[in-house]
């Protein structure tokens, strides 16, 4: 099957010190890959490397990240700006922090869409309202007219998911998209991302600590420890029949509620 995104022996370093080493995997159209591991294992670094969002001192120092026949680390910034958002979307852990507090949600959606295409305010609002309706928002017009501080944390996170999905990118990278949400809103966020796959065939890489979310969403799973690949395979194989000791320990650490 054709692959949308391929990591080939990728090493990522900060100030010359490797933090991710020799990681290889691929993402097919419509596939959801879950990346799991303890804090500091390199999960977020791995997906941020694809978009050149590593911050000061961060660099892909070995290997290739292929997307649409292009090696992303080799591309100039001007070309990366055309890819970010329109072709590879990003859902951040704290969507509210990535939103401008003094501009309405509608204006920020229009700016995001107009960065990649010519679009009027009317058309932008219509597309946004249509998607918000599909995602189960009861009052999309009020959302577009609201400022981020007027919405709850869970609502801002769901808006962040909608904004990332609106350009209909073939690939979505989701960095802990449900970690700050209560259980009810987590369920809504998971359903929204799964809906995007059903509607548009969107492929996703999901970085999370939440094994329950991985079980609900992922087709395949990559386990990281200290920047190294521990296990990679289908979700059923990795989660139900793990081969590696670390994977078994990671799964055993998930709390289980029992009733007397």
The residues of the chain scoring below 50 in pLDDT are none
The per-residue pLDDT for 257 is 52
Q: Which residues contact 33 (CB under 8 A, 6 or more apart)?
A: 25, 27, 204, 205, 206, 218, 219, 220, 221, 222
The per-residue pLDDT for 13 is 97
Each residue of 210-243: pLDDT tens digit?
Answer: 888 899 899 999 999 999 999 999 999 999 999 9
Q: Concatenate the DSSP letters of all residues of the chain into one string.
A: ---SEEEEEEEEEETTEEEEEEEEEEE-TT-EEEEE-STTSSHHHHHHHHTT---TTEEEEEEEEEETTEEGGGS-HHHHHHHBTTTEEEE-S-HHHHS-TTS-HHHHHHHHHHTTS---HHHHHHHHHHHHHHTT-S-HHHHHHS-GGGS-HHHHHHHHHHHHHTT--SEEEEESTTTTS-HHHHHHHHHHHHHHHHHH--EEEEE-S-HHHHHHH-SEEEEEETTEEEEEEEHHHHHHS--SHHHHHHHHTS------
- Average pLDDT of the chain, as a whole number: 89
Name the token pair of 45. Answer: 């670094």
The structure's pTM equals 0.89
């Amino acid at each position: 099957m054709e692959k949308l995104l391929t990591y080939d022996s990728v090493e990522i370093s900060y100030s010359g010190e490797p933090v991710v080493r020799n990681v290889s995997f691929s993402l097919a159209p419509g596939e959801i890959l879950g990346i799991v591991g303890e804090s500091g294992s390199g999960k977020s670094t791995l997906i941020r490397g694809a978009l050149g969002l590593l911050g000061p001192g961060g660099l892909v120092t070995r290997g290739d990240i292929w997307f649409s026949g292009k090696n992303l680390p080799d591309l100039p910034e001007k070309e990366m700006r055309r890819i970010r958002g329109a072709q590879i979307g990003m859902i951040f852990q704290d969507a509210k922090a990535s939103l401008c507090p003094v501009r309405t949600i509608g204006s920020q959606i229009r700016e995001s869409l107009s960065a990649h295409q010519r679009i009027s305010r009317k058309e932008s609002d219509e597309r946004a309202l249509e998607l918000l309706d599909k995602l189960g928002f009861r009052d999309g017009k009020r959302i577009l007219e609201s400022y981020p501080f007027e919405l709850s944390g869970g609502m801002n996170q769901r808006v962040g998911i909608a904004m990332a999905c609106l350009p209909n990118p073939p690939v979505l990278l989701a960095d802990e998209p449900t970690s700050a949400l209560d259980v009810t809103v987590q369920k809504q966020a998971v359903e929204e991302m799964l809906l995007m796959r059903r509607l548009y065939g969107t492929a996703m890489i999901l970085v999370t600590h939440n094994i329950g979310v991985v079980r609900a969403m992922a087709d395949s799973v990559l386990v990281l420890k200290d920047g190294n690949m521990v296990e990679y395979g289908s979700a059923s194989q990795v989660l139900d029949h793990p081969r590696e000791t670390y994977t078994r320990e990671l799964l055993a650490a998930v709390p289980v509620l029992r009733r007397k």
